[in-house]
Structure 1
Amino acid sequence: MDIFGIKALLICALIFIPFEHLFAEQPQKVLRKGLDVDLIYVLFNTFVIKAAMAMMALGTLEAAAILVPQSVTRAVSGQPIWLQVAEMILITDIGVYWAHRAFHKIPALWKFHAIHHGIEELDWLGAFHSHPVDAIVTKAISLTPIYLLGFSDASLAVFSLIYFGHTMLVHSNLRIAFGPFKWLIASPQFHRWHHANQRTAYDKNFAGQLPFLDVIFGTYNATGNKLPEKYGVDDPIPSSYFGQLGYPFLPHRKPSKRAAPSVEAGWLPDTPGIEHVDR
């Protein structure tokens, strides 16, 4: 078994590297800054997340057998595969949206998510550059309803291929115009501005696949064809893999220099013990 996903990594590299060279949005070397650390993330996160998701799926399926009527799971799994996949994309991206938003708004969670935003040169490998805690919590929130409802194995396989391929695409350094579909399907341009280290981009474009969720919840950032001035964060993120792994567990030595952004009314009240962060 290819538990580290090396074969999949090589296949993705053969697809994305040539296309990013031919249709690059911004000039960037293949052997860019932080490439070695991203490769470690690919190998380590693949193994750890697979193990965590397997345990979560097992526990959720056991709970579903008790809590969810078989008539419901039979009805769900009996739908056409294309409809099951569409439903999974919607359900999981609602979970991704709110989990993602929480990781931006709650300081203790932001320490984990800041690792992902620490990328300064964005390409397809950036899809894997996430702290394991960030990745596992987000997947647990977004995938638990899928396991509970009993979607079929075939639809789960199709969904997984679409999800991982699209996640790499939105992080890629590709110049692709989605035209009128930009509201429906997240593009590299859409997600690129989520990573921008600019005031106008903070706390915007949280959806993973469906930008209309940001439109509905008031966090959509329309940028036209403009490019961000820079990526990354002002936080003092370590450059090494193990430094980044331990970063969220260490106290911040310096507060962020950014001014606190406005907080959307009604989402997260000013509650004692909960602060608002600026990404």
Structure 2
Amino acid sequence: MGKILVAFVALTVIFGLLERRYRATWPPEDPADPSAARRFGLRRDTRTDLIYWVFTPLVTRTITLGGLIVAVYLLARASGLEVDASTGLAPFYDGSRVTAQPRWVQAIEVLVLLDLSAYWLHRLFHRGRLWRFHAVHHSPRRLTWMSSVRLHPVNDLLPRVVQVTALLLLGFDPTVLAGVVPFTGFYALLLHARVPWDFGRLRYVIATPAFHRWHHTAEVEGRDKNFAGFFPIWDLLFGTFYMPEGQRARRFGVDDDVPEGFLAQLVWPFRRRRAGAGAPAVDEAMAPAAE
């Protein structure tokens, strides 16, 4: 818990100063927005995100770790591998041609494969029943760096288990995964930050905050676009890239009836959707991009 607190304070200082620098570009707050209701000096959406910041590392990641252990055990049995406390995950990668590569080469390969698989898993969570779990992540009407951890446990568990077990089967060194995964997590914070960065021409090479804000927009034109978490090449290849010249996404949220509170959001995806339910996202008309 102490490490989580220290990390959160450090990130709050870093991203707080970063976002404040661009405060003049923020749209005015809508007093009618229910997520803006304040208590103890904090907005309701901020209070919800703070709970996720504690819950996700302590509970969701623990559940995910349990899911990975079960998946690895089942894979080992199916493959005839002996995996126990003494061997660890070594049977999956010992003697592998992949592991024989330099670690930096493995790191690049892991990053590419993680992002490609995340792209398709992300698209999957925008469809059918899975959307209700992912809608929780899209529910903030005010997108900030803190919004990145607003993930339903199901939305966090399934992709991670699929990705990590697949990479282990391919023979990658687990220590390489342990280095790349935190990096992608930190980059996700930047993608959600309230800054207008688009990296110029590099926006076609590396995902940017401006790129990802279009993914979260409530505007019809931007929905189901920009799924990549690091390499926009996937969106360019598969026809989901969207960054209109000279415009910024300014309207966020979903039309589904996602509740505001943390506990209600955990339960909501499992409930049957009520006919006609849904609240429009806060209307913050698109504006020209800041210079």
Shift of 1:9: 1.8
Gaps of 5+ in 1: 259-279
| Structure 1 range deviating more: 237-246 or 46-55 | 46-55
* Paired residue type of 2:122: H
Q: 1:49 to 1:78 in 2, by over 3 A?
A: farther
Does 2:63 match 1:52? yes
Say whether the 8 Å CA contact 1:73–1:151 is kept in structure 2. Answer: no
* Paired residue type of 1:79: Q
* Paired residue type of 2:65: A
Does 2:266 match 1:245? yes
Question: Aligned runs of 1:8-27 on 2, under 5 Å?
Answer: 8-24=7-23, 25-26=25-26
Gaps of 5+ in 2: 30-40, 82-90, 280-291
* Paired residue type of 1:26: W
Q: 1:40 to 1:74 in 2, by over 3 A?
A: same
Q: Which secondary structure does the structure 2 equivalent of 1:248 belong to?
A: helix
Alignment coverage as a number of residue pairs: 256
What TM-score, normalized to structure 2?
0.79
Relative contact order (C-alpha < 8 Å, sep 6+): which is higher? Answer: 1
Does 2:85 match 1:86? no
Q: 1:82 to 1:180 in 2, by over 3 A?
A: farther
Q: 1:139 to 1:225 in 2, by over 3 A?
A: farther
Which residue does 2:247 correspond to in 1? Answer: 226
Does 2:157 match 1:146? no
Shift of 1:74: 3.0
| Structure 1 range deviating more: 21-30 or 128-137 | 21-30
Say whether the 8 Å CA contact 1:96–1:208 is kept in structure 2. Answer: yes
Distance in 1, matches of 2:6 and 2:77, equals 35
Say whether the 8 Å CA contact 2:71–2:161 is kept in structure 1. Answer: no
What TM-score, normalized to structure 1?
0.82
* Paired residue type of 1:176: W
Does 2:179 match 1:158? yes
Which whole-Å deviations, capped at 9, do the CAs of 1:26-79 have from their partners, x for residues lacking one?
257995450000011111122223212322333444425863886776322232
* Paired residue type of 1:88: V
Distance in 1, matches of 2:93 and 2:11, equals 39
Say whether the 8 Å CA contact 1:117–1:233 is kept in structure 2. Answer: yes
Does 2:125 match 1:100? no
Higher Cα Rg, which structure: 2
% identical equivalent positions: 32
Shift of 1:18: 0.9
Which residue does 1:205 correspond to in 2? Answer: 226
Say whether the 8 Å CA contact 1:16–1:124 is kept in structure 2. Answer: yes
Q: 1:165 to 1:224 in 2, by over 3 A?
A: farther
| Structure 1 range deviating more: 37-46 or 26-35 | 26-35
Say whether the 8 Å CA contact 1:193–1:228 is kept in structure 2. Answer: yes
Distance in 2, matches of 1:148 and 1:60, equals 11
Which residue does 2:32 correspond to in 1? Answer: none
Which residue does 2:139 correspond to in 1? Answer: 118
